[in-house]
Amino acid sequence: MTIIANLLQVIQENILNAKLTTNRNQNVQLLAVSKTQSTEKIREAYIAGQISFGENYAQEAINKKSLLEDCNIDWHYIGPIQSNKTQLIAQHFSWVHTVSRLKIALRLANARPADLPPLNICIQVNSSNEPTKNGIQLQEVADLATEIVKLPTLKLRGLMTIPAPTQDIAKQHAQFKIIHDVFVNLQQQGFKIDTLSMGMSDDYVAAIQEGATIVRIGSAIFGTRPKLKQKV
Ligand SMILES: *Cc1c(COP(=O)(O)O)cnc(C)c1O
């Protein structure tokens, strides 16, 4: 068994154990975050059974995608979105986790090719109340959700967050709980959403305990990331 295959198995066990400590019983999907990692490592994870991969840079992801055409990978876009990249993203990914402005949602909707299924969308929410962090403020989520569900080429799936990193487990829980509460509130308002994308290598256990359905894990699978320019 390769190192990556072994780490994937360890993480899947941790995910299962985290679920067992709650009574939520939600499905939890592992998204392997492969930004700046080589196509060899992605292929290794794919052969070990990993299907969904997350990338942060559109052009890098598309280059890799063309080298991995023989693999049936489900590509998720999880990076910041520049307006001039919306077309590439809408053409090449099945999910986008980082929508926080209507303007970007509209551009993605317009650029989504008609022969592809609707693009799955998560609204990125700022759970840390830090002005520098990406993501929409909590009180603005419902308005953006209302607009996104009107767009037939997009499918609103739920919320995503990247809380401020902290080793303080209680703080991790508090930040994830805020987003879970917003998620439940939207469901109660009638939005048909099923996805909470939260939790990374250092905090995914807390995220699952607070209801995450997708955890985005990079370094715990692939090791430390090479710098971007080094390797594509
Ligand atoms: C890089 C990244 C991750 C993975 O981070 P790790 O700490 O390496 O697990 C998850 N989500 C987003 C949005 C990222 O940019």
At residue 128, the pLDDT reads 77
At residue 174, the pLDDT reads 96
CA of 29 to the centre of ligand 1 (A): 15
Q: DSSP string covering 142-192, please?
A: HHHHHHHTT-TTEEEEEEE--PPP-S-HHHHHHHHHHHHHHHHHHHHTT--
Residue 209 has pLDDT above 80, yes or no: yes
Q: Indicate if ligand 1 lies below 6 Å from the C-beta of 218.
A: yes
At residue 230, the pLDDT reads 47
Q: Indicate if ligand 1 lies below 6 Å from the C-beta of 4.
A: no
pLDDT band at 229 (very low <50, low <70, confident <90, very high): low
Q: Indicate if ligand 1 lies below 6 Å from the C-beta of 33.
A: yes
Q: Indicate if ligand 1 lies below 6 Å from the C-beta of 207.
A: no
pLDDT band at 231 (very low <50, low <70, confident <90, very high): very low
Judging by DSSP bridges, how do beta strands 154-160 and 29-33 pair with one another? unpaired
CA of 74 to the centre of ligand 1 (A): 17
CA of 155 to the centre of ligand 1 (A): 23
- Cα–Cα distance between 27 and 121 in angstroms, integer? 18
CA of 77 to the centre of ligand 1 (A): 11
Residue 130 has pLDDT above 80, yes or no: no
The ligand 1 atom nearest the CA atom of 202: 7
Residue 124 has pLDDT above 50, yes or no: yes
Within the chain, what is the greatest distance between any pair of CA atoms? 48
At residue 125, the pLDDT reads 97
Residues 33-67 pLDDT 10s: 999 999 999 999 999 999 999 999 999 999 999 99
At residue 227, the pLDDT reads 75
Judging by DSSP bridges, how do beta strands 119-124 and 195-197 pair with one another? unpaired
Q: Indicate if ligand 1 lies below 6 Å from the C-beta of 52.
A: no
- Calculate the CA dihedral of residues 14, 20, 23, 24 and round it to 10 degrees: 30
- H/E element holding 216? strand 214-217
At residue 158, the pLDDT reads 98
- H/E element holding 6? helix 3-20
At residue 232, the pLDDT reads 41
pLDDT band at 199 (very low <50, low <70, confident <90, very high): very high
At residue 228, the pLDDT reads 61
At residue 226, the pLDDT reads 83
What's the mean pLDDT in 130-153?
91
At residue 134, the pLDDT reads 81
What's the mean pLDDT in 20-43?
96
Query: Which residues, other chains included, contact 161 with Cβ-Cβ below 8 Å and sequence gap of 6+?
Result: 124, 125, 126, 127, 135, 175, 176, 179, 197, 198
The ligand 1 atom nearest the CA atom of 201: 9
Mutate to test the pocket of ligand 1, among 7, 78, 123, 215 (most ligand atoms within 8 A of CB): 78
Judging by DSSP bridges, how do beta strands 52-55 and 74-77 pair with one another? parallel
Q: Is 12 helix (H, G, I), strand (E, B) or coil?
A: helix
CA of 118 to the centre of ligand 1 (A): 25
CA of 115 to the centre of ligand 1 (A): 30
- Cα–Cα distance between 71 and 54 in angstroms, integer? 15
- Cα–Cα distance between 6 and 94 in angstroms, integer? 27
Half-sphere exposure in the Cβ direction for 5 (13 Å, CA): 8
What's the count of helices (H) and strands (E) in the chain, helices before strands? 9, 8
The ligand 1 atom nearest the CA atom of 225: 8
Compute the mean pLDDT over every residue in the chain, rounded to the nearest whole number.
Answer: 95
At residue 133, the pLDDT reads 66
At residue 132, the pLDDT reads 61
